Every structure is written in structure tokens, then in C-alpha cells.
Amino acid sequence: MPLIMIVEDNEQTRQGLADGLNGQPDMHLAAAVGNVADALQILQSDTRIDVLLVDLGLPDGSGVDVIRQAVTRREPPEIMVITVFGDEQHVVSAIEAGATGYLLKDDDAGNIADAINQLLDGGSPITPVVARHILKRFKIGHAGPAEALPAPAGEPRPDGEVPQLTPRETEVLHLVARGYTNSEIGDLFSVSFHTINSHVKHIYRKLSVRSRSEAVFEASQLGLIDLNDGR
């Protein structure tokens, strides 16, 4: 059962998110706080957090600082921003810091529990208007050459060094390449999706990538997996 932490300064919104999560039989609310200081205190402790839901505009700082602390944990949580800020500067800052989901508070199309499940299955739930800002970072077309996206997560690798995946990580990555979700892979291996989620996070770090598609592309380019081997 994933443990969720909410960082939201508006008490009504925080309680609404908490009530929504408490109504889910397969999710558990680990903590709900309203400022950066309390959030950092929890993230610096041994409290297990699987998913972090964080606002960006907090009374004592930015939610980006919370995200930066979260990604330094030994087992970093999945991170989803829930905020009113949909401008490019906030979006890019959050993603550069390590967020993999970004929803606007006025986005009534999404269900928070569904978005969390997408996140845990390796997806990136993003409000469409926010996705446009990310796509604009490519600037593909007649205006000029493509602009690079924010630098990928993970430690930079020395030139020519090929990361080493464990046999299980390689098996997981082959299934990711075939379109399986983390839950489906867990069922195939008779383990929990948390275990597979952990494998996927390790793969991301080793390959210095942020997404499943990037991981598959990078691994195939490095010769770590063969996309044509029929597996």
C-alpha cells in the first residue's frame, strides 16, 4: 500500500486531498503538512514516503525546495506537483528539480487517486496546458534547432562508461519496452508493484533519465537491451 505525503498550505485544500486519499482502500496518508519546514523535517527522517504531492507556493518557501530534498532520499518518492501555477517558469523549475507529474488545482478532469496510480505505474500525469510548456522546450520546427530539455535525473556518467544493470533490472526494462506497467510486471514476477517501482527508479538513476521512454531509448543505444530480440 503506497504511503502518501501532502504538502499544501491551504487547509481546506489539504483536508480535501487527505479525505480523498483516505477514501481509497489501497492508499494510506502518511503525512499532511502546510509548509516547507515541516515537510523537510519529515523528508529528512526515516518516515517511508512513496508519493509526494506538493504545492509550489508555500508560506515559508517554494515547493521546489521540498522536491529537491525528496529526490535525495535513499528511496526517493514519486513526486507530483498540485498547484495553481501553470506558467513555464514554475513548470520547468519543478521538473528540473525532480517532479514527474504536474497537475493544476483547477483541473477538474483528473482524479487524484487515478493520477497517483499512473505515477506509480511509471506514468507522468500532466495537465494538458502544462504539457504544452514542456513541448515548447523542444522548439522543433522552422524557428531554429531544438532546445534541450532540462538535464536528466541521476548522476552524470564519465564519457564512454556504460552503466551496469542487474539481471532483474534488465528483465524489467525489457518488459517496460514492451509496454507493461509496473503493476503488470509485478504480477508476472509475483512481487508487489513497489518492488518493480524500486527497480525502475534504480534504472532511471543508472541511465540518467527521467522517463520510461528515455530509459528504453538510452538502454538500446548503449546495447543494454535489444529491442528486436522478441522478448
19-25 long-range contacts, CB within 8 A, separation 24+? 20/112, 20/113, 21/112, 21/113, 24/113
Has residue 91 been placed in a domain? yes
Q: Same domain for 8 and 107? A: yes
Read off the C-alpha cell for 155.
548522476
Residue 147 in domain: no
Look at residue 38 and tell me if it is in a domain: yes
User: What is the number of structural domains in the chain?
Assistant: 2
pTM for this model (two decimals): 0.67
Residue 184: phi and psi, rounded to 5, are -65, -40
- 230 and 173 housed in the same domain: yes
Q: Convert the pLDDT of each residue in 165-222 to its tens digit.
A: 999 999 999 988 888 888 888 889 998 877 888 888 888 888 888 777 778 888 888 8
> 77 lies in a domain?
yes
Could you tell me how far CA 188 lies from the centroid of its own chain? 23
Asked if the model's pLDDT at residue 60 lies above 90, the reply is yes
pLDDT in tens, 61-77: 999 999 999 989 888 89
Share of the chain above pLDDT 70, in %: 84
Range of the domain at 163: 152-231
pLDDT at 36: 97
| Gyration radius (Cα) of the chain, Å | 18
Ranked by mean pLDDT, which of 11-25, 144-158, 201-215 comes out on top? 11-25
Judgement on whether residues 51 and 126 belong to the same structural domain of the protein: yes
Q: Phi and psi (nearest 5°) for 80?
A: -130, 125
